[in-house]
């Protein structure tokens, strides 16, 4: 990286003051054309909208995949090599690990394609095309009065449109609602199911800082892992087979190690899961007062149990590593969201917008008729639900998913009812044959003594914190109880909590024993509370849906000059930003990047969140950074930018103005934890791994330089030009 001259640096500061902020917004790629192209150019984007999204020519979108529907990945070679986060590959790494070959702890590197590890159930999807089907949908919805009729029609039409788009091409299609049901788009995907693990650093790199650093900046995490997508010999999706070949993607991202500077343009491209940017003040209030603290307190007790049992036994640690990470990630998320909703006084901001909206609606008779009641509908909807929020959160977080045996029992209950209703014969034997392995798998993934503890602590909390009339029947009947003793009794008696008892039952289903089973009754009663709640809330939910749809439509009419972006819904979105420092609090500035020196300063061999592997320390001691060092001779680790992302974007590429990969997005920051509800331009940042750190770990630490040889490396102006020329030819 060449140091910019002082003059240029001066110009940059000047430019940044007058810069138009385009960072808020998760844009549908086909709508990027609508954004002011001159502004984007000024931000530093050199690609054309066609180069970002095109149906007929290869474009950036052809390098981006939805990974398993929960994360994002990108193609970084012409042989299907895919980069994503370590926390996205976490469960695949865990599943391939044993206590003896613990890839989570030690890392994993395939030194050739033969060593790459298949992952059952994992898939990636490329977006083939998308299409606005709003007109078609609205025509079909014309005249439907109730939300029930509307939803039924939307489901029916969505299926019909998707079926048509899937005809004769092997693609997967779906229609999704945008702006709370004001617009509808069709998405057509090509899904590949042979996705193999290629490389992963040890957890002490990939999850360095653990839960302490999670959702925080400054950060020093090498949150990446590598996979390879395989296709059948014809290049089309195929189930795993040793005969499959690496996929040749339509586009792969060149990888730039030229470095970044403050103000540089950044584009993130990925599959954000969900946001609630149009949530009203009443929704904020309910999250603050009821929903968030309830989720946090239930997760607190679960994490305590898991922490102890995982520490005591390595097999249990591996079994629960992903479950723990998932619970802990959103436990901390909700703590942060609550803190920042308060600190940034998001409720007042929402109220101000609501007042403005109401005044605008009331100022014109026609508008008043259309939008005048929207906010009142929303307010009433939240009010009607207020009493059941805590009970409703408990039945899910503390009941049905409190201990794993509960949900498993609920699932099996339906199958067992079918089994007991069947006559002797081949159908019945066939069902038994299918149930056995499914049941066995559950016991492989669940440590019953741990599950029993989870059950005891969540039941106790449930009984203490939910009004009796909202408790499940068995809990109401029991009144005050010793929950440890009760858990012990249930787990020692139930068919569903012991693999031998369960497999005996499948061999000889006995309906009397089934009817008497304590876990069966628990699961059934909990599900009854759950479905009773949705019935109870049907009217409130319909009001919320209609009110929100009108509110969003009205807002767009009220501010016609503003381009509104739709809430995230797991569809492909682009977000435009710049590399940028921020002030977390008065008098403090956080730089835009961190280095290996900072990681070494955090090292603590006695704290498993802050261990530094031997190989990394040795390279650090030798300052062996190769071509990956920055201009000052430091090794960059993480950086921040103003892009607008959320969960699901994890693994998204951070792309520079020339379309080259410079980083890998993996987190948001603490000061903006309320960001899913209200974007905070001054403090909201995307945290990314610098791609130079990724390559350094692969090259120097793992000695897997053959993977780097596969990539299109950009090291200077000339190679950048060449990569650009080769990228989008068609
Ligand atoms: N907060 C990150 C996200 O939701 C996950 C980071 C995983 N790391 C961790 N220490 N749990 O995308």
Q: How do residues 355-391 score in pLDDT, each as one tens digit?
A: 999 999 999 999 999 999 999 999 999 999 999 999 9
The phi, psi pair for 179, rounded to 5°, reads 50, 50
Q: Which atom of ligand 1 is nearest to the CA of 666?
A: 12
Residues 27, 390: Cα–Cα separation, whole Å: 34
- Per cent of the chain over pLDDT 90 is 91
Nearest CA to ligand 1 atom 7: 87
Tell me which residue of 699, 718, 370, 723 sits closest to 553, measured CA to CA. Answer: 370
Kindly report the average pLDDT of the chain as a whole number. Answer: 95
What is the average per-residue pLDDT within 638-667?
Answer: 98
Residues 67, 24: Cα–Cα separation, whole Å: 24
Confidence class for position 615, pLDDT limits 50, 70, 90: very high
| 300 tagged catalytic | no
Ligand 1 centre and the CA of 652: distance in Å?
Answer: 14
Q: Is the peptide bond before 218 cis (omega within 30 degrees of 0)?
A: yes
Ligand 1 centre and the CA of 340: distance in Å?
Answer: 18
Q: Give me the domains of the chain, ranges plus CATH numbers.
A: 1-123+193-275+581-730 (2.40.10.120), 361-538 (no CATH)
Nearest CA to ligand 1 atom 2: 667
What is the average per-residue pLDDT within 200-219?
Answer: 98
Q: How do residues 72-121 score in pLDDT, each as one tens digit?
A: 999 999 999 999 999 999 999 999 999 999 999 999 999 999 999 999 99
Instruction: Pick the catalytic residue from 59, 650, 674, 688.
Output: 650
Q: How do residues 455-478 score in pLDDT, each as one tens digit?
A: 999 999 999 999 999 999 999 999
| 223 tagged catalytic | yes
Ligand 1, CB within 6 Å, residue ranges = 87, 207, 210-211, 214-215, 325, 329, 647, 650, 666-667
pLDDT at 18: 39
Enclosing H/E stretch for 694: helix 691-696
- State which of 268, 320, 666, 688 you would mutate to test the pocket of ligand 1, scoring each by most atoms of that ligand within 8 A of its C-beta: 666
Instruction: Pick the catalytic residue from 223, 264, 676, 699.
Output: 223
Contact 84, 227 (CB under 8 A): yes
Ligand 1 centre and the CA of 162: distance in Å?
Answer: 34
Could you tell me the two tokens for 622? 């030798």
pLDDT at 36: 84
Nearest CA to ligand 1 atom 6: 214
Q: How do residues 108-154 score in pLDDT, each as one tens digit?
A: 999 999 999 999 999 999 999 999 999 999 999 999 999 999 999 99
Pairing of strands 255-256, 713-714: parallel
pLDDT at 21: 56
Q: How do residues 538-583 score in pLDDT, each as one tens digit?
A: 999 999 999 999 999 999 999 998 889 999 999 999 999 999 999 9
Ligand 1 centre and the CA of 261: distance in Å?
Answer: 25
| 87 tagged catalytic | yes
Confidence class for position 729, pLDDT limits 50, 70, 90: low
Instruction: Indicate the angle between helix axes 314-343 and 86-95, nearest 10 degrees.
Output: 160
Q: How do residues 492-531 score in pLDDT, each as one tens digit?
A: 999 999 999 999 999 999 999 999 999 999 999 999 999 9
Q: How do residues 256-293 score in pLDDT, each as one tens digit?
A: 999 999 999 999 999 999 999 999 999 999 999 999 99
Tell me which residue of 98, 85, 106, 117 sits closest to 318, measured CA to CA. Answer: 98
Ligand 1 centre and the CA of 380: distance in Å?
Answer: 36
Q: How do residues 29-39 score in pLDDT, each as one tens digit?
A: 988 888 888 88
- State which of 329, 332, 649, 665 you would mutate to test the pocket of ligand 1, scoring each by most atoms of that ligand within 8 A of its C-beta: 329
What is the average per-residue pLDDT within 415-425?
Answer: 91
Residue 145: CA count within 13 A, CB half-sphere: 0
Ligand 1 centre and the CA of 573: distance in Å?
Answer: 20
pLDDT at 7 over 70: no
């Amino acid at each position: 990286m060449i140091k910019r001259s002082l003059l240029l640096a001066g110009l940059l500061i000047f430019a940044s003051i007058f810069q138009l902020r385009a960072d808020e917004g998760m844009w549908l790629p086909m709508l990027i054309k609508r954004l002011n192209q001159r502004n984007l150019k000024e931000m530093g984007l050199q690609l054309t909208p066609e180069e970002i999204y095109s149906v007929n020519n290869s474009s950036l979108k052809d390098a981006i995949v939805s990974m398993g529907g929960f994360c994002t990945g990108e193609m970084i070679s012409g042989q299907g090599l895919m980069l994503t986060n370590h926390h996205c590959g976490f469960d695949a790494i865990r599943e391939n690990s044993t206590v003896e070959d613990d890839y989570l702890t030690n890392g994993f590197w395939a030194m050739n394609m033969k060593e790459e590890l298949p992952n059952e159930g994992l898939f990636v999807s490329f977006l083939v095309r998308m299409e606005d089907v709003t007109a078609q949908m609205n025509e079909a919805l014309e005249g439907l009065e109730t939300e029930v009729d509307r939803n039924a029609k939307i489901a029916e039409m969505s299926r019909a449109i998707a079926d048509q788009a899937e005809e004769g091409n092997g693609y997967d299609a779906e229609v999704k609602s945008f702006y709370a049901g004001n617009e509808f788009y069709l998405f057509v995907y090509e899904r590949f199911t042979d996705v193999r693990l290629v490389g992963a650093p040890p957890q002490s790199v990939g999850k360095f800082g653990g839960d302490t650093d999670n959702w925080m900046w400054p950060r020093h995490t090498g949150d990446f892992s590598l996979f390879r997508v395989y296709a059948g010999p014809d290049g089309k999706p195929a189930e795993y087979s040793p005969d499959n070949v690496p996929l040749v993607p339509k586009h792969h991202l060149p990888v730039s190690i030229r470095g970044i500077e403050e103000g540089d343009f950044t584009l993130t491209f990925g599959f954000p899961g969900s946001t609630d940017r149009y949530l009203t003040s009443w929704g904020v209030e309910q999250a603050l007062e009821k929903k968030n603290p309830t989720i946090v307190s239930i997760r607190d007790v679960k994490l305590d149990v898991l922490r102890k049992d995982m520490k005591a036994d390595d097999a249990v640690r591996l079994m629960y590593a992903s479950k723990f990470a998932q619970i802990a990630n959103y436990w901390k998320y909700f703590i942060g969201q609550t803190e920042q909703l308060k600190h940034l006084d998001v409720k007042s901001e929402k109220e101000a917008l609501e007042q403005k909206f109401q005044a605008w609606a009331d100022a014109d008779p026609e508008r008043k008729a259309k939008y005048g009641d929207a906010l009142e509908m929303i307010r009433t909807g939240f009010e009607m639900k207020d009493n059941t929020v805590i009970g409703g959160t408990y039945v899910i977080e503390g009941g049905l998913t409190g201990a794993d045996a509960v949900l498993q029992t609920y699932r099996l209950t339906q199958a067992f009812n079918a089994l007991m209703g069947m006559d002797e014969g081949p159908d019945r034997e066939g069902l038994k044959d299918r149930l056995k392995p499914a049941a066995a798998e559950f016991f492989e993934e669940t440590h019953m003594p741990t599950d029993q503890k989870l059950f005891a602590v969540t039941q106790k909390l449930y009984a203490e914190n939910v009004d009796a009339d909202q408790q499940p029947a068995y809990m109401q009947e029991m009144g005050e109880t010793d929950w440890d003793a009760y858990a012990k009794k249930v787990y020692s008696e139930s068919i569903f909590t012991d693999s031998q008892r369960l497999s005996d039952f499948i061999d000889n289903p006995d309906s009397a024993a089934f009817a008497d089973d304590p876990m069966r009754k628990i699961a059934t009663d909990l599900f009854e509370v759950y479905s009773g709640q949705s019935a109870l809330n049907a009217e409130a939910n319909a009001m919320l849906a209609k009110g929100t749809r009108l509110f969003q439509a009205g807002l767009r009419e009220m501010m016609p000059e503003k381009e509104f972006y739709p809430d995230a819904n797991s569809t492909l979105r682009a977000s435009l930003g710049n590399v940028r420092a921020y002030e977390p609090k008065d008098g403090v500035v956080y730089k835009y990047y961190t280095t290996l020196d900072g990681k070494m300063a955090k090292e603590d061999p006695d704290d498993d969140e802050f261990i530094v592997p031997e190989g990394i320390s040795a390279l650090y001691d030798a300052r062996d950074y190769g071509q990956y060092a920055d201009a000052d001779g430091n090794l960059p680790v993480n950086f921040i930018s103003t892009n607008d992302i959320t969960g699901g974007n994890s693994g998204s590429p951070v792309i520079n103005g020339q379309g080259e990969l410079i980083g890998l997005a993996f987190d948001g920051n603490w000061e903006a934890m309320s960001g899913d509800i209200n974007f905070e331009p001054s403090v909201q940042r995307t945290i990314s791994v610098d791609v130079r750190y990724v390559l350094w770990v692969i090259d120097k630490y793992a000695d897997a330089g053959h993977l780097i040889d596969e990539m299109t490396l950009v090291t200077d102006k000339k190679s950048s030009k060449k990569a650009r020329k080769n990228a989008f030819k068609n």
